[in-house]
Amino acid sequence: MTDLATEARAPASGIPFDNSYARLPERFYVRMPPTPVSAPALVRVNRALAAELGLDADALASPAGVEILAGNRVPEGAEPLAQAYAGHQFGGWVPQLGDGRAILLGEVVGRDGVRRDIQLKGSGRTPFSRGGDGRAALGPVLREYIVSEGMHRLGIPTTRALAAVTTGEKVYRETALPGAVLTRVARSHIRVGTFQFLFARKDLDGIRALADHAIARHYPAAATAGRPYLALLEAVIAAQAALVARWLGVGFIHGVMNTDNCSIAGETIDYGPCAFMDRYHPQTVFSSIDHGGRYAFASQPGIAQWNLVQLAQCLLPVIDDDADKALEAAQAAIDGYAARFDTELLAVFRAKLGLFEARDGDLALLQDLFDRMAANQADFTLTFRRLADLLDPPEGDAPAPRDLFVDPTSFDAWERVWRARLADEAATPDAGRAAALRAANPAVIPRNHLVEEAIRAAEDAGDPAPFEALLEALATPFEERPEHARYRLPPRPDQVVRQTFCGT
Ligand code: AMP
Ligand code: MG
């Protein structure tokens, strides 16, 4: 009986699709299948994620599953489509972007009751491809797989990687590279740029339909607010403020915070030239195409607000029939971003500094540490991770935080202020505070040289072992397992990665 009931619900593909985006107006997308490839081969299925989605990982890894993941077979229940969107790229308006190398297969409601998109990225040309080939190279696919799963394990909202396959075909960038397809999972792929696409076409009915869809999917409480579309704007502002604060908490630089890469659901999306800082400096930029440093580490909060202003523009006509009232309300929401962001940032960094209580000077204490880290080329991740050792000495031979600073006395001076600040709180056993610090400060992050090492081995030598080993180390970022010691080390001078590329 049970078996029959299960069979009745799940289509033969085993993927129980329910595609709400495909029920939106046809002008939001172009219906089309992915383009088949010559020789699909599995790189990896993410078994943990498959389980969360209620999918059969073995079926996905089987030859029939790999055909689906490569885009050679459209599974039953899928309604493949390429989504339309627009966007500001590096501040410049582009009225039509869209999925130029991705196909949304459909949506699945996971075990947690959350609806998620299943999208193939690198799946061939679409009407939105412009000059591109619609394909992805193995390197960037592995990069997105590693970094998005690393972000997830760090507890940061993000799209995820369900699978990676190679295509048996070459893609041509500066050189010929092995082609690959990533199966990306997201709470949705609705971007600020999706609203901009409709706004640019003066499609107010479309904006309402998309906003209603986003509310139902991501912010159901907004539906019953006095002004639902204002509540949607406020919810996205809150989600983006929280997201960017958490990026800063792990030294993450997105690299292409264009409005088309700004998710309405508040997830990190589009891992192109992103990177984690080793040595802290607020102006750090890795992306080879970010010449002006528009998306530098410390600029990200302001850029997120700029993107949210673009969203507010799109929603203005539907927020209130009275244009003045709409403007006033949207402006107030945008003005609230800065305070919201500061609150989120303080929450993140109070935890990272082991502060259990709030004090007025906390932001200044943090800024002072940042200034000293920047002046002393201190490693971002290790400086915070090693704070716990000052309260509860580690077992191994980890460096003292002061040894991460060119001038260790600069850290000593800050440490005195920090200890006085801790002493001002209700007494807490040092071991308890150290445990809290270790739970807030990761030891293992997807450092650039590790990502690079994994990609080089896979791409140049066909060796997937470093990729697998890195994913394994990233699965427990807050633990210091002896077997993962090398993944905690900053790069040697010859390993430092100074530039990253979009890889499109
Ligand atoms: P991205 O830089 O990945 O956010 O992409 C920006 C835009 O360029 C999106 O519309 C993509 O679909 C499109 N795009 C990026 N790479 C390719 C490619 N290889 N072929 C076709 N379109 C692409
Ligand atoms: Mg993009």
CA-nearest residue, atom 23 of ligand 1? 100
Pocket test for ligand 1, best of 129, 256, 287 (most atoms within 8 A of CB): 129
Q: Which atom of ligand 1 is nearest to the CA of 135?
A: 19
Mark whether 252 and 283 lie in a shared domain.
yes
Q: Residue 215 Cα, ligand 1 centroid: separation in angstroms?
A: 27
Domain membership flag for residue 363: no
CA-nearest residue, atom 6 of ligand 1? 97
Q: What is the residue whose two structure tokens read 């029959």?
A: 4
Question: Tens digit of pLDDT for each residue in 453-484?
Answer: 999 999 999 999 999 999 999 999 999 999 99
Which residues, in sequence order, are CB contacts of 1 under 8 Å at separation 6+? Answer: none
Pocket test for ligand 1, best of 81, 83, 88, 101 (most atoms within 8 A of CB): 101
Chain mean position to CA 111? 21
Q: How far is CA 350 from CA 36, 95, 153, 430, in A?
A: 50, 41, 20, 16
Mark whether 240 and 158 lie in a shared domain.
no
Task: Give the per-residue pLDDT at 396.
Answer: 76
Nearest to 256 by CA among 213, 200, 299: 299
Q: Around Cβ 172, how many Cβ atoms within 10 Å?
A: 11
CA-nearest residue, atom 16 of ligand 1? 504
Domain finish residue from 324, 345, 366 = 345
Mark whether 168 and 205 lie in a shared domain.
no
Q: Residue 90 Cα, ligand 1 centroid: separation in angstroms?
A: 14
Query: What does the block give as tokens for 494?
Result: 């010859």
Q: Residue 504 Cα, ligand 1 centroid: separation in angstroms?
A: 6
Which residues, in sequence order, are CB contacts of 390 under 8 Å at separation 6+? Answer: 400, 401, 415
Task: Give the per-residue pLDDT at 335.
Answer: 98
The answer to whether residues 419 and 99 touch, using CB atoms and an 8 Å cutoff, is: no
- Residue 311 beta carbon below 6 angstroms from any ligand 1 atom: no
Domain membership flag for residue 339: yes
- Residue 191 beta carbon below 6 angstroms from any ligand 1 atom: no
Residues of the chain with pLDDT under 70: 1-13, 503-504
Which residues, in sequence order, are CB contacts of 463 under 8 Å at separation 6+? Answer: 457
Q: Around Cβ 212, how many Cβ atoms within 10 Å?
A: 17
Q: Residue 405 Cα, ligand 1 centroid: separation in angstroms?
A: 40
Q: Residue 97 Cα, ligand 1 centroid: separation in angstroms?
A: 8
CA-nearest residue, atom 7 of ligand 1? 97
Mark whether 167 and 243 lie in a shared domain.
no
Task: Give the per-residue pLDDT at 504.
Answer: 55
Domain membership flag for residue 225: yes
Nearest to 69 by CA among 185, 189, 177, 151: 185
Question: Which ligand places an atom closest to the C-alpha of 123?
Answer: 1
- Residue 124 beta carbon below 6 angstroms from any ligand 1 atom: no
**How far is Cα 285 from Cα 405, in angstroms, rounded to an integer?**
21
Which residues, in sequence order, are CB contacts of 482 under 8 Å at separation 6+? Answer: 396
The answer to whether residues 77 and 16 touch, using CB atoms and an 8 Å cutoff, is: yes
Mark whether 122 and 201 lie in a shared domain.
no
Percent share of the chain, pLDDT over 90? 94
Mark whether 185 and 204 lie in a shared domain.
no
Domain membership flag for residue 271: yes
Which residues, in sequence order, are CB contacts of 258 under 8 Å at separation 6+? Answer: 87, 88, 89, 90, 193
Mark whether 32 and 179 lie in a shared domain.
yes
Domain membership flag for residue 408: no
Mark whether 115 and 168 lie in a shared domain.
yes
Mark whether 180 and 197 lie in a shared domain.
no
Nearest to 442 by CA among 369, 385, 402, 391: 385
Domain finish residue from 189, 213, 234 = 189
**How far is Cα 504 from Cα 496, in angstroms, rounded to an integer?**
23
Which residues, in sequence order, are CB contacts of 75 under 8 Å at separation 6+? Answer: 11, 13, 14, 15, 17, 68, 105
- Residue 503 beta carbon below 6 angstroms from any ligand 1 atom: no
Q: Where are the beta strands (DSSP E) in 241-330?
A: 252-253, 275-276
Mark whether 26 and 175 lie in a shared domain.
yes
Domain membership flag for residue 456: no
Catalytic residue among 260, 278, 320, 379: 260
Q: What phi, psi does 177 have (nearest 5°)?
A: -125, 155
Q: Does the active-site annotation cover 368?
A: no
- In the chain, the number of structural domains is 2
Domain finish residue from 189, 221, 256 = 189
Q: Around Cβ 356, how many Cβ atoms within 10 Å?
A: 13
For the residues of 237-250, what is the DSSP string, one character each?
HHHHHHHHHHHHHT
Nearest to 387 by CA among 368, 414, 348: 414
The answer to whether residues 340 and 238 touch, using CB atoms and an 8 Å cutoff, is: yes
Q: Residue 136 Cα, ligand 1 centroid: separation in angstroms?
A: 9
Q: Residue 6 Cα, ligand 2 centroid: separation in angstroms?
A: 37
Domain membership flag for residue 205: yes
CA-nearest residue, atom 14 of ligand 1? 100
- Residue 189 beta carbon below 6 angstroms from any ligand 1 atom: no
Task: Give the per-residue pLDDT at 8.
Answer: 43
Domain range spanning residue 329? 193-345
Domain membership flag for residue 421: no
- Residue 97 beta carbon below 6 angstroms from any ligand 1 atom: yes
Q: What phi, psi does 30 have (nearest 5°)?
A: -125, 125
**How far is Cα 486 from Cα 450, in angstroms, rounded to an integer?**
10
Task: Give the per-residue pLDDT at 10.
Answer: 53
- Residue 86 beta carbon below 6 angstroms from any ligand 1 atom: no
Mark whether 229 and 149 lie in a shared domain.
no
- Residue 433 beta carbon below 6 angstroms from any ligand 1 atom: no
Task: Give the per-residue pLDDT at 1.
Answer: 36
Mark whether 286 and 169 lie in a shared domain.
no
